[in-house]
Structures are given as C-alpha cells and as structure tokens.
Structure 1
C-alpha cells in the first residue's frame, strides 16, 4: 500500500497535482516543468510520424502545458504557434478527439491572452473544412463568445473593424461552410447587440446575393425577422401610461356635454377616450421600428433592384421566392423606394387558386407607400377587386380581397377610384358577416382619407377636428408652424389658478363627468359656477369648460393663428400637452356646425370613427381575419346540446298538481287506455262529409218536432 501511494504521489507522473502546485508556486517546481516539457517535445516528434492515431499522452501533456503557460512565458513562448502549425499541417487527417484537444488547448491560451484573436479566428475558419460537425459547432460558439468578451467592458473599435473585414472576406470565400459560419457569427453578434452597427448589417446584405441557396436563405430570414423586445421598454411604458392617464382625465374634463340622452353621452365620451389613447399610441409607435437592421442599409434602392433582378431569373423553390418578395416589399415600404415592375409582377400571383396568396397580398400592401404613383397602385387594386371580390367565389375569398384592398389603401389611398370604391361599399349589407365587416372597414378608412370618393350616405358626419384638416393630394406635404390644439392655452384654466395661489385648492381638480354629483350643462349655461377664470387675450371671465366652448366657436384659421402665437411665445409643459390632448378629443367628438363658421362653406360629411393605422409591416391576420362562425357537424352540435342540458330541470310542464293526492282527469286517463277503446272517440274528431252533416241535422230537426 505504501509503495502504491508513493507511486501515485510522484510528481512527474501526476500532472493534475503538478499543475496545481505550479499555479501556487511556479519557481519551486521549475525543474519538474522542464522535465515534462522535454517529454512533450519528444512526444510531438513521434506523433507527427503518424498523426491519424489518437495519442492519449500527448493529449494530457498539451492540456497541462496550456494550463501553466502563463506561469512560464519564456519557456512556452513558441507553444501556441506549435499547436497552430500542427493543426494547419494535419487538420484533415487528425483523429477527431485529438483535433478537439488541440483546439481546446488553443482556446485556453486565448483566454489567458497568450494568443491574438485574429490569428486564432483565421485558423478556426480554416478548420471549418474538416468533416466534423461537433468541431464546427464548437468553433462557431467560441468565435461568438470571444468577440463578446472582447467588447464586454468597452467596444474595441480597431479590433472589431479588423475582425469585420475578415468576416467579409470569409463571406466571399468559395468554401460554403466557412461563409455560412461567418454569416451565423455576424447574425448572432447582431442579435446579442455586440455588432449592431451599420457595417455589420451591410456585410450581411452581401450574403443575400450568394450563389449557395442555403446561405442566401439564411440572410433573407435575418432581414425579414423582427427585433426582440428590450427589457427597458417596460419602464418606458409605465411612464407613458401615467401620461396617458393625465391626458384621459383632461379629455373627460374638456368633454363638451349638451342636453343629450345618457346613452349618447357615454358613447361620445368613449370616443373621446379612444381618441386620446390612439394619439398616445401613434406618438410611441412612430419611434419604434419593427426591425432596425433594414434601416441601417446604406443603399436600399440598389439592393432592392438587384434582388428584383435575381427574383425574375430565379429557379428556386416557391418558398424562396416568397422570402425574396417579402424582403423587397419591406425595403420599398420602409425606405419609400420606387420599383414599378414589382407591382406588375405581384399581379401575376394574385389569384384565389394561387398557393400562399394571402402572403402575396401582404407583400403588395407593404410595398404600397404614399409616394408610389397612383398609376402603379391602381392596377393592383383593380386586380384584387376583379379576382377576389366577386360572387363566383366563396365569402372567405371575398372578405380577404376586401381586407387586402383596405390594407393597401391604408398606405396609399390614391389608387382607389370613385366608382370602384362605391361598388365595394355596397358589400356593407352582405349576408356574410366577414364580407360586411371588411366592406365597412374600407368605408371607415376612406371617411378619413378621402370622403369625397364615397357616396353621400356613407361619408359620415364631419367633426371639428376634420374641419381643420383638408384632404391631402398625391405628393402633397403638409408643414405646420403650430401645434393643433394649442389655442386652448390662450385661456387660463383652473389648474393655472391653483398653481399661482389665486384660487382655492378645490378649483384645480379635474372634473369627472361620470361622477353622479356632476351636473352637465349645455350651450346656454351661465359663466362658471366653480370659479372665475381670466382669459389672457380677451379679458373675459369663463370656466374651464366654457373656455373649451370658446375654442369650438373659432374658425380653423383663427385657431391656427392663436396656436401659432402660443407656440412661438412660450415653452410647453406636460400639463399643457394634456390640455391640448383634451381639446383635440373634444374636437374629435364635436360635430362640425355650419352656423358657427362661414355660411358659404359646403358641408362635407366625414367620419368620426377610429382611423385604421398603418405600420411598417402588414400582419397576415389583418387580411385573413374572417368573422364568420364555423359550422359544426352533427356530433359537435349534439355535444353542445347535451352540455346545455346539464344542471337544468327536466323538460316538460313545470307546474304540477295543486293537491298531489287528487285523482287524475279523464283526459289524463285516456292517455293510458288501449287504442281500440278510444277508437270511436278519435274517429269522431275526423272531418265529416256534407252528406253526414245533412243527415245529422235532419235527425235533430225530426227529434225536435217529435217532442213538441
């Protein structure tokens, strides 16, 4: 036993123990290290004579040297280069385990900063040619981790630029595995927000034109994906929700209440609240981008044109063509590009019998931004109407066609003609709910975009908010020098008085029109009962609600002048913006009164419903949404019937006898008798012939004469 223990504790043969001791005190064990280093040199010479055989002793010595390399930098100065040379010479013939051992040793040396990352990455990309799937996965994982660690504390721009240039060269390499790995590495680094700059994105764009289909598809999937939600958005949403609550309270306060029914009051109040929420949502969604990589492309027009040319000559599977169409449509929609032939190509696929036709509808809507000429959009709209919105197809096909036309018109309303829109609007009374809802959504859209295209009965009521906005023609760009709704700041509100200390503390509170103690007033109400407010411009004394009414009496030109004066003379606070949101909500629900404005203006009926929003991307659900309830088979209907009977009283007469001990009636007794006993009674109820009635009457008359 003692001899065995002494043999196990001998340092030359126990490398893990020697490794631990060297890390604690390298100088004391220098002789033991030199002895092991000599063994390593001799083993290398022997191994190179037959590199295809796995050498366990060499494996242990290599890992030992890699662990203690930082303790003896002078003796092991050439050690990393020796391992790299060994891999370069015999990479293809090495045993898989031996090759993995040498690679792991180099990773240890790189973690100790004894090897430059560029040299190691160059070697690893050369090793990708080896037919070893586990090795390729390990190399790719290490490259991503190494670059991530290099940029952990601060970004090393010089080194990143050097590595990015190397990745670009690998993407152009003839060897497909190296190019695919380089692409995967760059995509992983972008998603991890390490290399999320424009240079990385533009290097990845070159892979979209790669000759190898697998590499091209990988790059296309990268660009048609979406960014993951950031964790920091939660805190921002909390602050936004607080601001939304303030604006909602202001909208309730400024809501103009007339002598209406309670139901109508609530309906108008709900519209005001919905308008405030929608306005807040629009301000936040305009900043957020669906996928930031597309926004970082330097020359999107050139890229879209090259992709379109390749798409025309492509002989790949239809799924690959769909990916290419998707990316082209996103580039056109996000960067507002102009590729006229793309819309003509989509028309060839817009047929109900076409596979994945709903996705092609989405691509057409994504590519239709407001700067595309109507001559290019109108044929696409006509094709959708002629091929889908027709009675010869099912209701689902008609609904999807109308939804596709709506999504396309949201982004470019100039491709719709008056005759076509009025024809499509007739489907609002269709018997199928899906078709009717799709047609009504199209009507609501054009009530906001261009109500003159609709029939007079479909235009809706004009509101004060729409009276300020005119229809925008194609190519027209509106630039305002004021903030709409800022004219309310010309009047002092109760909050202003409470902050200045000139009024009571109760005067500054918001008025809740839903409170039971609140008494609504109409246009004939006297000057405010809660406090007298001064107006800066006219010197009048009005309540807050009366100040909103005064704003409603102004013409759009007068409102614009007052708003411009306010914006140019003061800074706006959060409470000021809450007041602006409140007066805009009041304009949204207040119908335009012709008597208050110039009498020569012709009344134009427009919508007061919610607008249809247009984002960067089109959701497939917006086109495929069908409101029709699916039919059930007999078994499903029977299950529904039986489920409804559970817990219910037995079907029949619920009212029983008043006296349970009473006898049954003759009618109830007849139900239990034999049919032959009741046959004569049943026969008597049958319809009698005229002869039988005549004879019966004759007998009755003779009987009467007999007893007289």
Structure 2
C-alpha cells in the first residue's frame, strides 16, 4: 500500500487533518466532506431519539462542519437551521458540554455570515433559561458584542426594533433568570451608547413593576445611576476575594522576616495601588430619566407599588429615591408622597439622612407651599430642637436649606427667624448650618429675615425680587452685561489702539533707556476697573438695564466677556468694600446652585473642629506630662533612703549567680530538712497558743 492510499484511509478518523486539507483545497476533498456530512446526518437521527445522552461523535462532527462551512455553502445551506432547531427543542436536556459546543458552532456560522442575527440572538435569549452559569455568561457577552458590531458603522434600525420587541416579551418571561439576563443586556447596550434611545429606556421602565426583586432592583439601580456588575446576577464581582492593604500587612507580621517575603509584600501593595487607580468612579448618567415617556403616570404607579410593597427596606429606599428624582426633575405633582415620607423623618430612623435627601429632591417651586411647609415643620419638630445632639440639629438645618433652595416659599417668617437664632449656638456645626440658611435667604427672599440678619445692603440685593407661587422672573437681557463695551466704544478703542501702536514705535526709536513709572491695575479691584472702563459708574439702574439689553441683543459674547460678567456679578454681592474682591473673583462656584441631583454630603456635612497636625498634637502631649509622676511601680517604703531587701537585690543580679537556688527548689528535701521544718512549725503553734 502506498503512502497516499494509507493517508487517505486515515482521513475519515482524523477530522482536524481533514479540516486543514479542505480549507487548502476544497474541491479535491469534496468526497471526503460528503462522507462526513452523511455520517453527521445519520448520527443526528440517532441523537434525536435520546437527546439527553452524551454523543461525542456528533459534537466533533458539528465542530468540523462549522469550520469548513465557508468552503461548501450550498451543501451546508440547511446546517445552521438544523443546529438552531436542535437547541430550540432540546436546550434544557442536552449535556452542558455538548450544548456549549453547539452554541460555539452557531457563533462561528454567524461570524461567517451564514446565519441572520435575528434568528440567532432570539435563540440565545431563550437559552438564558438554561441552568448553566458559564453558558449564560458566554451568551451574554456574545449578544452585546454582536449587536455592537451590527450597529458600528450605521444604525440597523430594523434589527434593533425586532430585538427590542422580543426583549419586551422576555422581560415578562416566567423564568426569572432569563428575564434578568435580558434586562442586563439592555442596560449594558444603553451604557455603551449602542441602544441609547427612548424606546430602550421605556422597555426598561416595564421592569420596575416586576414581582421579582432582582429584576426590580436592576431597573431601579439603572435609573438611579448606580454602577453595578450586570453580567450575571449569580456571578461574583471582580474585587471579591481580593486582599486589602490591611490584610497584606497583617499577613506579613506573622512569620520570619526575609527579603523574599518583603519583596512579595511590596509587589502586592504596588499591584493593589494600581488596581485602585484603574477603578473608575461611578458614572452618573441621568439622561435615562429624561427619556421616560410619561413620568407623571410612572411616578403615580410606582408610589402605589411602594405603599403596598413588602420588600426589604433597602428596596423601598431605592423606590423612594427614584420617585423623588422623577418629581424633582420633571416637576411633577405627587402630593401624597410628602405625607408618606414624613412618617420616616425621625432621628432614630434607619438611613434618615437619605430620607431627608429624598424630601429635598422631590421639592420644586411648583409644589404648593402649604405641603412643603408641613415637611419643614416636621423636620423642625423632630430634628432642630435642643433636646437633640448638635449633629442631628445640623443635619436637620441642612435638609431645610436644600428644600428651601428649591422652593423658597416653603419657609415661613417666624420659623426662619427661629432658625436664625441658632447662629449664636455654642456648637459650631449648628452655627454653620444656621448661617448657610441665612445666606440662602439673603439671595432668595430678604424680607423674611430679621433686619440684623440681612447683612450690608448690596447692589445684588436690589435686583432680587421675591417670587410668588408660580411666578417666573424672565429677563430680556443677561444680568451683568452692562459692564461690556458697546459697538461704538469698541470702535473707538480700536482706533486708539492703532494710534498707540504707531506712537510707541516712534518712542522706541527716541528712547534713551531710562526707567518709566507704570501704574499697576492689579492694585485696584477688578470690578471697579471694569466699571470705570465701561463708564457706568454714574448710571442709574434703568440706564444700566437698557445698556445690558442693547449689548446682549446686538453682539455675540466671547469667553472673555462671560468672565467679565462673572466678575461684575460677584462685585455686586460685596457692596462698597472691594478689598476682598480680587480674592472672591477667583471663586469658580456660585454661592448656591440647586441642581437636579443633590449630593448626600450636602445633608450630612457637619462642621467640626479640625484635628491637630503632628506638631501641635505633640506639643499638647508634652504639656500634659509636666508635673506628672513617673511611670512604674511606686515604692511602698516610708523611708525612701532605707536599704532594699534580699528579694529586691536578687532582681538586679545576674542569672548565673541565682540559677543554683532555682535548681535547689525543684529537688526533694532531705529527712533532716523535713525534721527541722516540722520542729519550727510546732514551736510556732505553741507560741500562738500561749
């Protein structure tokens, strides 16, 4: 037998070698391929009689045919559909290893364009029902990556709409694991900006009413912007089991200290620092809340679910958080929410600072003042009383400030003046919280404050107009634009600049190199300088408003113009004293701006006395040691100059001088020693009787 015949006889049993040869020359090995294909069909028929049995031959043939599918597309036209039907009918009964190989074969066929994405992805969504964690993880990653590849160059709207409709049905699936995985896929696609549209968001909204807690929490955390691991509800996080710095140092304390162990510990600490640097902070993206179709209806339905819910307290907190954000961002009317949340406003309540945060988030200027005044009154009665600690009072004042920043009419005049009296408290945290509330109403509603708390009158206070309920202060100009130059002034400045440049060139030619005194403009306040340049120092308020309207409507402002306007607005808040103007002009933040989301730190921020640094702390320690007795056992003798006992002297002696005495204690006494000891004890007893 020749080598060629021997080689051909071995091909039917050596599928990897046959696969390699077919990819090189498909036409020459077509007969061998057809032989294997017929073998596959017969094996498939046997397998369908008992799908739960392990069939390694069928697995190898499926992998082989998937690898050479691009070489014989006509012969294998029905092969992808056969695999799909096999998995669709027997997905839960097939052995896990074989099921994984069949899915990998389908993925290979899809990557080579031999299978439509719709049919394959719908099958994979249905296979989330399988009790196979590794398989679900694989399918999840592939679905996300495949949809990303399909929409990479342009949006495939037909595919997206089809899959979104299918996922809408999957979210209502009876299998909780399959529904949760489908939700995770949609959330991951939204976070990767692949499906970032209103339809995706509103499909996720339906998961908020699921009876499965994991699905409900997944949807709540998505809308709240919590960064979580969406791969699988059963999968552990990346950091689970990782050692902290404390664990590494404690492990090094025990055992022999060697250079190798020290080097290992240094490497572990370096790796831990790199891992912490790579960690990205939680990305809060609240655009999903803005894409909800009917936020009013959603908030009402969620509130009904919250009232009847028997879930854990953490789940209820998330639901309250989402409802408060919906109400605050969209300025909704949900009047029953405020009495509901007032029940939890107690200092001993668990996570009460978060509940205070929710009450502030749900406040806006369209809520009737009577409703929010009851919330403020509840906080005042339960938190801002002297029977509570300073931390509780400060937290209550901070919560009231955040509510009033969004709805100034929630505060009454009597209550505000009572809160202002806490500025003279002995506790610094209470003082700072009270002052922040006073500063807020200096900008919002000055008349509610007592005259002594209004501060020095400033130009900014004259522009503040207290708004009534539902009133809007819409201006036709940009406040502070009067500081800018008009078109005529800009033209004159340009002519003067040209004349100055020509004159400076002549002076350079005639100069003798002597020193010239220059007036530094930095010695003056920036605001005064800008007012003098614009020529508005002697103008009244009406002329300034007309000038601001003219400038705003006649030109496009640059970044330098906005910087000048900002300095002008800051100078208005400082009155006639411009000594601190330069320092305050560098402050980038506004005095108080109410954003859509309130940080929890704004409620929990408590001003305390700062800790000493090392030098000051060491100084106080040394001062405390003065005139203090020395550490150690005190001498019990009346006369400090008396001689010491033999026992005390033995403690200072060398051990070699005393070791023979310790040995003697462990040896047995002789007969004569026992006799002497007995005699002495009897004599002592006789003396005691006498």
**TM-score normalised by length of structure 2:** 0.73
From 574, 583, 601, the equivalent of 1:589 is 574
Change beyond 3 A, Cα 1:547–1:630:
closer
Greater mean deviation of Cα atoms: 63-72 or 576-585: 576-585
Match of 1:497? 493
Alignment of 1:154-553 (within 5 A): 154-225=154-225, 290-490=285-485, 497-498=493-494, 501-505=497-501, 517-518=520-521, 546-548=532-534, 550-553=535-538
Could you say which residue in structure 2 is the equivalent of 1:564?
A: 549
Match of 1:84?
84
Does structure 2 conserve the Cα–Cα contact (< 8 Å) formed by 1:201 and 1:297?
A: yes
**Alignment correspondent of 2:592:** 612
Distance between the aligned counterparts of 1:176 and 1:5, measured in 2? 57
Q: Give the 3-state SS of the residue equivalent to 1:397 in structure 2.
A: helix
Is residue 2:148 matched to residue 1:148?
yes
- 8 Å Cα contact 1:488-1:551 kept in structure 2: yes
Question: Could you tell me how far apart the structure 2 residues matched to 1:399 and 1:367 are?
Answer: 21
> Gaps spanning 5+ residues in structure 2: where?
229-282, 505-517, 579-588, 628-638, 643-690
The answer to whether structure 1 residue 25 and structure 2 residue 20 are counterparts is no
Q: Which residue of 2 aligns with 1:625?
A: 605
Q: Is the 8 A contact 2:83 2:106 kept in 1?
A: yes
Check 1:351–1:9 CA distance in 2 against 1; reply closer, same or farther (3 A cut).
farther
SS in 1 for 2:23: helix
Q: Deviations over 1:389-438 (max 9, x none)?
A: 11111111111111111111111111101111111111112111111111
Contact residue 410 and residue 445 of structure 1 kept, 8 A: yes
- Larger RCO (CA within 8 A; separation ≥ 6): 1
| 1:555 is the counterpart of 2:555 | no
Does the C-alpha gap of structure 1 residues 319 and 478 become closer, same or farther in structure 2, counting only changes over 3 Å?
A: same
Deviations 1:653-693 (A, max 9, x none): xxxxxxxxxxxxxxxxxxxx9999xxxxxxxxxxxxxxxxx
Output one character per residue of 1:457-485: Cα deviation in whole Å (capped at 9) or x when no partner: 11112222332332222211122112222
Task: Quote the offset at 1:57 in angstroms.
Answer: 1.9
- Whether contact under 8 Å (1:365, 1:404) holds in the other structure is yes
Aligned alpha-carbon RMSD (Å):
3.6
Deviation at 1:359, TM superposition (A): 0.6
Is the Cα–Cα contact under 8 Å of residues 311 and 321 in structure 1 kept in the other structure?
yes
CA deviations 1:544-601 (Å, max 9, x no partner) are: 65234x42432222111122223333444444444433433433334499xxxxxxxx
In 1, distance between residues paired with 2:120 and 2:573?
65
Residues 343 and 364, structure 1, Cα contact 8 Å, conserved in 2: yes
Q: Is the 8 A contact 2:483 2:530 kept in 1?
A: no
Report Cα offsets for 1:43-66 as digits up to 9, x if no partner. 212322332222222211111111
**Partners of 1:293 and 1:227 in 2: how far apart?**
14
Which whole-Å CA distance do the structure 2 matches of 1:412 and 1:544 have between them? 35
Distance, in Å, in 2 between the alignment partners of 1:408 and 1:195 is 36
1:34 corresponds to which residue? Answer: 34
Provide the rounded CA distance (Å) in 2 between the counterparts of 1:66 and 1:100: 14
1: CA distance, partners of 2:404 / 2:71: 71
CA 21–305 in structure 1, closer or farther in 2 if over 3 Å, else same: same
Shift of 1:365: 0.3
What is the deviation of 1:486?
Answer: 2.5
Q: Structure 1: any 5+ residue segments left out of the alignment?
A: 229-287, 509-514, 526-542, 594-608, 653-672, 677-708
> Residues 556 and 142 from structure 1, CA distance in 2 versus in 1: closer, same or farther, beyond 3 angstroms?
same
Moved over 4 A (4+): 2-9, 490-496, 498-501, 505-508, 515-522, 629-632, 636-645, 673-676
Partners in 1 of 2:502 and 2:378 — Cα distance?
62
CA contact (8 A) 2:128 2:178 kept: yes
Return closer, same or farther for 1:187/1:164 CA change in 2, 3 Å cut-off. Answer: same
CA contact (8 A) 1:226 1:290 kept: no
Q: Give a deviation string over 1:103-156, Cα, whole Å, max 9, x none.
A: 111111111121122211222233222222222222222211111111111110
Specify the SS of the correspondent of 2:333: coil
The 8 Å contact of residues 498 and 504 in structure 1, kept in 2 or not, is answered as no
Q: Specify the SS of the correspondent of 2:319.
A: helix
Q: What secondary structure, in the 3-state scheme, does the structure 2 residue paired with 1:396 have?
A: helix
2:327 and 2:209 mapped to 1: Cα distance?
18
For the 8 Å contact 1:290–1:616, the answer to whether it is kept is no
Change (3 A) 1:465 1:506: farther
Relative distance call for 1:389 and 1:577 in structure 2 (3 A) is closer
Residues 128 and 136, structure 2, Cα contact 8 Å, conserved in 1: yes
Partners of 2:616 and 2:544 lie apart in 1 by 63
CA distance in 2, matches of 1:506, 1:208: 73
Q: Which residue of 1 aligns with 2:269?
A: none
Q: Distance in 2 between matches of 1:177 and 1:506?
A: 81
Aligned counterpart, 1:70: 70
Please say if residues 227 and 291 of structure 1, whose CA atoms lie closer than 8 Å, have aligned partners that are also in contact: no
- Cα gap change, 1:68 to 1:225, in 2 (>3 Å): same
